[in-house]
A = this chain, B = another copy of it.
Amino acid sequence: MKRIAIDMDEVMADYFTSNLQLFNSHFNKSLTKEDLQGKRITDIYPELAAELHEITNQAGFFRNLEVIKGARETILELSKHFEIMIATAAKDVPNSLHAKYEWLKEHFDFLDEQYFLFCGDKSVVQADYLIDDNISQLNSFTNQGILFTSHHNIYVDWNIRCNNWLEVKNYFMKELAMA
């Protein structure tokens, strides 16, 4: 059975919406999602990066993120045909490790926690596929990377891109059909 590794933030968990809300309320700004096409908040306000990191690197922040639409249903379906592994970069947010674990246990209770992986660089991940929104992680990974669309990566070039979980499902159903 082939193995799919899946990133959490911006792929399974809607980090962007919560991060933007927190940023606007904490700094009294009014950035919109449209302002952030192809950019990160810290590209626009680099001088606020350290303080923003401090307020988001909290267990409560990660524990309460929304699930991205379609993630649960598609991953449940894929888990019948593939080994599913969660590969999340937690090295910048060590306070979030336990919160991320609890979030997975709540929203993806059907997954096997043997395959929850908290790491930094994803070159260490042994899997056939990696679904990630971060181009540098896809570059580190040694097998087939799949770019999951997020606001910050819309202008990034990558050979396989999925814009949503329905596209992920279709991609893997084709892979199965060709196997």
Residue numbers of A with Cβ under 8 A of B are 3, 5, 85, 87, 90-91, 94-95, 97-98, 101-102, 112-121, 123-127, 142
Contact = CB atoms under 8 A, between A and B. Distances in A.
A119 B120 contact: no
A118 B117 contact: yes
A150 B96 CA distance: 32
A142 B125 CA distance: 12
B142 A126 contact: yes
A66 to B, nearest CB: 22
Given A97-B97, A97-B98, A101-B94, A114 B125 contact: no
Nearest to A5: B124
